[in-house]
Structure 1
Amino acid sequence: MDSYDYVIVGAGVNGTSIATSLASHGFRVAVLDRSADGFVAPDGASHDLNKIVRADYTDANFCTLAKEAIARWRSSPVLRQFYHEVGVLFRSSASGDVWGNEGSAEEYVHKGIKHAALESDAHLEVFPAQEKERAYKLKNDTQVDEILGKARELKGDGFKGMGRVQTGYFNPRAGWAEANNATRALLGHAIKLGVTVYPDSSVDSFVYEAGEVVGVKTADGRVVRGDNVVLAAGAWTQELLTTLLPGVGEGWMTRPSAQCVAVVRLTREEAMQLGDTPVVINFATGFYQFEPTPTASPDEWHMKIAIHSNGYLHPAPQSSCSGTFPAFSCTDSTEQDAFGMAACSMPANQLEIMLEELRQTWPHLAQRERLVCTRVCWYSDTLDENWIIDSLANHPARPKGTDKVWVVSGDSGHAFKFLPIIGDVFLAAKRLLPNTRQLDLTRFTFNHHARTHADKNAGRAVQSADSNRAHSTPLANARARL
């Protein structure tokens, strides 16, 4: 029977980062995952082409963390090859509203620039060579053309009218990361540090000794013992906790949600024309897009596009691992039906909405025949977008014997950029490292999340981690998950 200092369930962004940090400090670590090879499962959110990396949060905790995370993306021998600092361009579109936000577009731009340029965090920013310009407001189309470079000849109307019919800003100190490649590389590095990975390992029960959890048991009967257990199951957290503690209930402070993305095909020549263009976010609609990325074929490149809507907030991701990432299917159901749905589906017009958004930026790519695939990206949402990093014993239900069981979840769709640093945050929360960043770690506790739910139930507004609001009605919870 194998035994470790830490047994981690889940090989996504949280589990991989924590395993790496623990191993680098000399702990014996095991990672269990449902996937065939033990690395991030194909239906996990980290198993993706790319994720946005930016630091212009309005929340002090995440702003500080993101700036240090970006410094590590730039400097890490393991991760730097997967980080592309092409900048992020934020645009409001002609509507001038902010999706899911109570403020104006101008306020959004002002806050974004302000927090990207905070001098108090300047010491955290490490640059490989020449320091890049700070975020700045876009006042005219000439600035946009300079950012787009040679691609400006292909731009659509969505890039036009800056300072006249729309507003926006550009943050050069941001970009995107190769999600799946980076996660796999970091876990590979952790293995070199001594981490043991258990593939095909669906955990279905705790192992108890003298009333205390001392490990986990897989569906096929294997037992892995650990002095500490870390549950880092992402969108599967609620299901896993309900399985492990069936008599406790389902008030786990996090629930799964699904957003859908699409991938379109480009030729190599087309990709070269759009190379090094920034990530583009339309903060009035939630649409975002990336620059083209290469595939195994030198003649075919892919571009990921997505749009964040209320969508299907609480579907149930499948516990089995099929070996492929989940596609979405079209349905005539409305958002009001979403709460109880378990299907990987979305409104039939969602793909058309995404293509119309793409037509506003790169009109020559907005063709249905270019569609390569669609996929569901699962999130583990909390009410205010703060994560959960806490001992399960601190949950309001006070499950017995769980003092050394930790839950790390509640990514809320904005955790991946922190891959280089989440592990250290866990160590700080567990008091294995000093809280040198002066983070408010209480924001990641079950007590904090219990209070936010109490506020919501009382009809009070809940301040989210990115200046949006979570309201008392499910359909109003349009949170910024970038």
Structure 2
Amino acid sequence: MTSTSDYLIIGSGVCGTSIASYLSHLSPSPSITVIDRSPDGFVSASGASNDLNKIIRADYTDPTYCSLAKTAISKWRADDVLRKFYHEVGVLFRSQSGKGVGEYVDAGIKHAWEPKDVQLEVGVEGKKRAYRLTEDSQVEQILSGVEKSGLGEGLKGFGSTQTGYFNPRGGWAEANNATRAMLSHAITRGVKVVGNCLVTEFVLEGTKVVGVKTSSGTTLFAKNIVIATGAWTSDLLTTLTKPFSPSFSAAGGWLTRPSAQCVAILRLTAAEAEKFKGTPVVINFSSGFYLFEPVLEGGEWQMKIAYHSNGFVHPRPPSGTDTGAYPGFEASALEHSHSPATDHFGTAESCIPPTHLDIMLDELHKVYPSLAQKERVVGTRICWYSDTLDENWILDTLDHHPALQNAGVEASNVWVVSGDSGHAFKFLPVIGELWATVKGLQRNNWGVDLKRFTWNHQQSLHKIKQQGGKVTSADSNRFVAEQVEGLNARARL
């Protein structure tokens, strides 16, 4: 079986879906095929986009992501397909007072709204803008549905022991539902989606990459190939390039690697859910812990709590076909015992500690103590990031990667879109358009330096790190152990 397309997109998560959608709007008769290892071709069950919810916020201190996020939010509000999946309940940032905390809050408030943002505020012109929390009564008003006695110590002492701010112009989106809806809409515009496609090798015509083969024997030809496989990217690239780059070491060479992040789901009663419904996303910006309002899932009210951190080496994203299940925290120690490994970035811990769920519940207790009970936990799961050293994404052609520059293979038509670094989902409405700009399909109207999205940029960072230099994230709020006494200064969740 063979198939030919103008564009073949491997992976139907946030990046693949957004690119397919945008391409379908650029062409009146698109020849676009999206494939995934999932049975139906939509985002895989273990993909990061297959999730209850993701944070939507724009108060980045990095001007590039701040601008992109504000544009994305304007589309979340207005887009006919996406707006019903966006819940603008606000985002509350909190931390114990300490060194650098006040500066972080000031920067967040400043970047949350600027005069140039007026054109992006259709429909919310009168909505309150981000403001500092200086007294507990403000928090009590924001969380008016929750009894005062139900608020933990982390939501008390503002203006003294606690520092933070509230941005009403943010919230969360239904991740899986929004991603599937966008791809479904793209199908109505002519995009073809194919499931059960496990890509195993490139197809060459002479020295030029012209397609891929799958484990079932299917050959898919395309003028342009987009690899948008998230945390699976480094393993897939190792497999695909092995015939012409056999000595290449994937351990540190692909400039992106997966990290396992920790999520727990709690069960609430209908009465409890009623109290907490409509509450904002709450982020502890010094620890990386965050939580959402409860959502109704499968007839049961559930609340998601999670950490945004440097993550763990184990468990790694599963190879092979879609298993339809997320591994829990226990999979980390089991996998580590069979194949211990270290992180070549030098940041992720090897194995999730057995006390990690208890640590998460302790964090929850500081916010909503009545919910911090282990018997409420429905389950734990892993969310995999595709990380880069500075959390900038990779939007570049494969031939620009240093491993391929002398391989004798022409891969200028093969794009790698990866390195989400745990903060890409909010950009679902605009990543496709940004990629089209990088590819040269349209002018750069973003005012963005596109060189930050290249292999060359990431390679230069690795050289700095190898020489003992410090690589600073453009805008990170991950928990970093060596910074525990200070502040992980800028939120990029």
TM-score (norm 1): 0.92
Residues in 2 aligned to 1:49 and 1:470: alpha-carbon distance in whole angstroms: 22
1:222 equivalent in structure 2 = 218
Once the two structures are TM-superposed, the CA of residue 148 in structure 1 deviates from its matched residue by 0.8
Q: SS in structure 1 opposite 2:279?
A: coil
Structure 1 alignment gaps of length 5 or more: 98-102
1:257 equivalent in structure 2 = 259
**1:424 has 2:433 as partner:** yes
- Point out 4+ residue stretches in structure 1 off by more than 4 angstroms: 330-334, 340-345, 467-471, 473-476, 478-481
Once the two structures are TM-superposed, the CA of residue 57 in structure 1 deviates from its matched residue by 0.7
2:15 equivalent in structure 1 = 14
Residues in 1 aligned to 2:112 and 2:380: alpha-carbon distance in whole angstroms: 32
1:447 equivalent in structure 2 = 456
Q: SS in structure 2 opposite 1:463?
A: coil
Q: Return the letter of the residue paired with 2:411.
A: T
Decide whether aligned partners of structure 1 residues 252 and 314 sit closer, same or farther in structure 2, where only a CA change above 3 A counts: farther
Whether the 8 Å contact between 1:461 and 1:469 is mirrored in structure 2 is no
> Could you list the per-position Cα deviations for residues 50-89 of structure 1 after superposition, in whole angstroms to 9, with x for gaps in the alignment?
0001001111110000000000000011000000000000
**1:311 has 2:314 as partner:** no
**1:45 has 2:41 as partner:** no
Whether the 8 Å contact between 1:7 and 1:226 is mirrored in structure 2 is yes
**1:369 has 2:378 as partner:** no
> Could you list the per-position Cα deviations for residues 126-152 of structure 1 after superposition, in whole angstroms to 9, with x for gaps in the alignment?
333543222111111011111111214
2:80 equivalent in structure 1 = 77
> Could you list the per-position Cα deviations for residues 215-246 of structure 1 after superposition, in whole angstroms to 9, with x for gaps in the alignment?
11111110111000000000000000000001
Match of 1:391 among 388, 397, 422: 397
Q: Return the letter of the residue paired with 1:411.
A: D
Residues in 1 aligned to 2:325 and 2:491: alpha-carbon distance in whole angstroms: 27
1:116 equivalent in structure 2 = 112
Once the two structures are TM-superposed, the CA of residue 343 in structure 1 deviates from its matched residue by 12
Decide whether aligned partners of structure 1 residues 362 and 467 sit closer, same or farther in structure 2, where only a CA change above 3 A counts: closer
**1:339 has 2:342 as partner:** yes
Whether the 8 Å contact between 2:286 and 2:479 is mirrored in structure 1 is no
Q: SS in structure 1 opposite 2:6?
A: strand
Once the two structures are TM-superposed, the CA of residue 316 in structure 1 deviates from its matched residue by 2.6
> Could you list the per-position Cα deviations for residues 8-58 of structure 1 after superposition, in whole angstroms to 9, with x for gaps in the alignment?
000000000000011111131101101011100010000000000100111
Q: Return the letter of the residue paired with 1:133.
A: K
Range 316-325 or range 436-445, more displaced: 316-325
Once the two structures are TM-superposed, the CA of residue 391 in structure 1 deviates from its matched residue by 0.8
Range 401-410 or range 146-155, more displaced: 146-155
Match of 1:381 among 370, 379, 387: 387
Whether the 8 Å contact between 1:390 and 1:446 is mirrored in structure 2 is yes
Q: Return the letter of the residue paired with 1:223.
A: T
Whether the 8 Å contact between 1:87 and 1:175 is mirrored in structure 2 is yes
Residues in 2 aligned to 1:294 and 1:279: alpha-carbon distance in whole angstroms: 16
1:105 equivalent in structure 2 = 101
**1:204 has 2:213 as partner:** no
Structure 2 alignment gaps of length 5 or more: none
**1:28 has 2:37 as partner:** no
Whether the 8 Å contact between 2:288 and 2:478 is mirrored in structure 1 is no
1:5 equivalent in structure 2 = 6
The root-mean-square deviation of aligned C-alpha atoms, in Å, is 2.6
Q: Return the letter of the residue paired with 1:62.
A: Y
Once the two structures are TM-superposed, the CA of residue 474 in structure 1 deviates from its matched residue by 13
Once the two structures are TM-superposed, the CA of residue 346 in structure 1 deviates from its matched residue by 1.7
**1:177 has 2:173 as partner:** yes
Q: SS in structure 2 opposite 1:425?
A: helix
Residues in 1 aligned to 2:291 and 2:215: alpha-carbon distance in whole angstroms: 39
Once the two structures are TM-superposed, the CA of residue 308 in structure 1 deviates from its matched residue by 2.9
1:414 equivalent in structure 2 = 423
Whether the 8 Å contact between 2:308 and 2:478 is mirrored in structure 1 is no
2:89 equivalent in structure 1 = 86
1:147 equivalent in structure 2 = 142
1:66 equivalent in structure 2 = 69
Once the two structures are TM-superposed, the CA of residue 458 in structure 1 deviates from its matched residue by 1.9
Equivalent residue pairs, number: 469
Residues in 2 aligned to 1:163 and 1:281: alpha-carbon distance in whole angstroms: 17
**1:360 has 2:366 as partner:** yes
Range 109-118 or range 71-80, more displaced: 109-118
1:324 equivalent in structure 2 = 325
Residues in 2 aligned to 1:414 and 1:441: alpha-carbon distance in whole angstroms: 18
Match of 1:401 among 410, 426, 430: 410
Decide whether aligned partners of structure 1 residues 474 and 174 sit closer, same or farther in structure 2, where only a CA change above 3 A counts: closer
Range 355-364 or range 61-70, more displaced: 355-364
Whether the 8 Å contact between 2:310 and 2:478 is mirrored in structure 1 is no
Whether the 8 Å contact between 2:155 and 2:162 is mirrored in structure 1 is no
Whether the 8 Å contact between 1:258 and 1:314 is mirrored in structure 2 is yes
Q: SS in structure 2 opposite 1:115?
A: helix
Whether the 8 Å contact between 1:230 and 1:408 is mirrored in structure 2 is yes
Percent identity at matched positions?
A: 54
Q: Return the letter of the residue paired with 1:312.
A: F
Whether the 8 Å contact between 2:314 and 2:351 is mirrored in structure 1 is no
2:60 equivalent in structure 1 = 57
Residues in 2 aligned to 1:8 and 1:166: alpha-carbon distance in whole angstroms: 46
Whether the 8 Å contact between 1:215 and 1:224 is mirrored in structure 2 is yes
Q: SS in structure 1 opposite 2:375?
A: helix
Once the two structures are TM-superposed, the CA of residue 363 in structure 1 deviates from its matched residue by 1.0
Residues in 2 aligned to 1:62 and 1:395: alpha-carbon distance in whole angstroms: 24
Decide whether aligned partners of structure 1 residues 204 and 53 sit closer, same or farther in structure 2, where only a CA change above 3 A counts: same
Whether the 8 Å contact between 1:315 and 1:338 is mirrored in structure 2 is no
2:186 equivalent in structure 1 = 190
Match of 2:209 among 208, 213, 217: 213
Q: Return the letter of the residue paired with 1:12.
A: G
Decide whether aligned partners of structure 1 residues 141 and 480 sit closer, same or farther in structure 2, where only a CA change above 3 A counts: closer
**1:272 has 2:268 as partner:** no
Q: SS in structure 2 opposite 1:228?
A: strand
Range 265-274 or range 390-399, more displaced: 390-399
Residues in 2 aligned to 1:88 and 1:41: alpha-carbon distance in whole angstroms: 28
2:446 equivalent in structure 1 = 437
1:127 equivalent in structure 2 = 122
Residues in 2 aligned to 1:71 and 1:284: alpha-carbon distance in whole angstroms: 28
Decide whether aligned partners of structure 1 residues 468 and 158 sit closer, same or farther in structure 2, where only a CA change above 3 A counts: closer
Residues in 2 aligned to 1:428 and 1:152: alpha-carbon distance in whole angstroms: 49
Whether the 8 Å contact between 1:62 and 1:465 is mirrored in structure 2 is no
Once the two structures are TM-superposed, the CA of residue 315 in structure 1 deviates from its matched residue by 4.9
Aligned pairs (5 A) from 1:284-299: 284-297=286-299
Once the two structures are TM-superposed, the CA of residue 177 in structure 1 deviates from its matched residue by 0.4
Q: SS in structure 1 opposite 2:266?
A: strand
Residues in 2 aligned to 1:470 and 1:362: alpha-carbon distance in whole angstroms: 21
Residues in 2 aligned to 1:313 and 1:65: alpha-carbon distance in whole angstroms: 30
Residues in 2 aligned to 1:442 and 1:164: alpha-carbon distance in whole angstroms: 43
